[in-house]
Amino acid sequence: MNITIDVQDTESKVEVQVKGEIDAYTAPKLRETLFPLSEQENVTMVVNLTDVSYMDSTGLGVFVGLFKSVRAHNGQFRLEGLSERLRRLFDITGLADIIEIKSGTEGGLE
């Protein structure tokens, strides 16, 4: 089980591309990489999950924590590129009502 996390950190925006699976084995790496970035004041964090093939509840927990941390520091948090399966996971848990999600079928830049 592998995960790749590519981060582009500019002055006020953190763009993250995650590839692989997010589970109990890989979630700690994701948390270690992103939590320090989530504590920047007024940061906009965008996490692209287009290449994530699987995520369990451990991954959901990481994203809830990131969302709370970014918001606590007056920032914005968004997930992008979720497959139908991942989107359903966020819908079922009610997290889609709290976290901004741009689904994989919504192409283009804003």
pLDDT 10s digit of each residue in the chain, 110 long? 699 999 999 988 999 999 999 999 999 999 999 999 999 999 999 999 999 999 999 999 999 999 999 999 999 999 999 999 999 999 999 999 999 999 654 444 43
- The span from the CA of 45 to the CA of 38, in Å, is 7
pLDDT of 11 reads: 83
Q: Considering the entire predicted model, what is its pTM?
A: 0.90
Helix segments in the chain, DSSP class H: 27-38, 57-72, 84-93
Token pair, residue 82, equals: 């979720």
The total of other beta-carbon atoms located within 10 Å of residue 84's CB is 10
- The span from the CA of 43 to the CA of 30, in Å, is 18
- CATH 1.10.1270.20 is held by the domain 3-7+25-103: no
- The span from the CA of 108 to the CA of 74, in Å, is 26
